[in-house]
């Protein structure tokens, strides 16, 4: 299973964080540095949970299990807000 950004959003980097506007809802969302790293990876190409965790664990001192749990929660939130979608 891969994840990708939807077309219902536009994002901008502000400092080390990402600010996202959902076109349909007219709502803004913010991601911290770790969320921004995940977002930037998805912006390049669709990615798997494992690949996203690998990118995060290379940059930050976090164990793989905790990383996977955190990234899964982030992706679930982004999917519920229609900012990210699952793809093959």
The tens digit of pLDDT for each residue in 23-34 reads: 888 899 999 999
pTM: 0.91
3-state secondary structure the chain: CEEEECCCEEEEEECCEEEEEECCCCEEEEECHHHHHHHHHHHHCCEEHHHHHHHHHHHCCCCHHHHHHHHHHHHHHHHHCCCEEEEC
pLDDT tens figures, 41-87: 999 999 999 999 999 999 999 999 999 999 999 999 999 999 999 99
Closest CA to 83 of 26, 1, 21: 21
Give the per-residue pLDDT at 3. 97
pLDDT at site 42: 96
């Amino acid at each position: 299973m891969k994840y990708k950004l939807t077309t219902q959003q536009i994002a901008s980097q502000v400092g080390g964080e990402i600010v996202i506007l959902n076109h349909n809802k007219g709502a803004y969302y913010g991601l911290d540095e770790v969320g921004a790293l995940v977002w930037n990876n998805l912006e390049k190409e669709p990615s798997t949970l494992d690949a996203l965790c690998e990118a995060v664990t290379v940059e930050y001192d976090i164990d793989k299990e905790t990383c996977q749990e955190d990234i899964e929660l982030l992706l679930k939130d982004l999917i519920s807000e229609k900012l990210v979608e699952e793809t093959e």
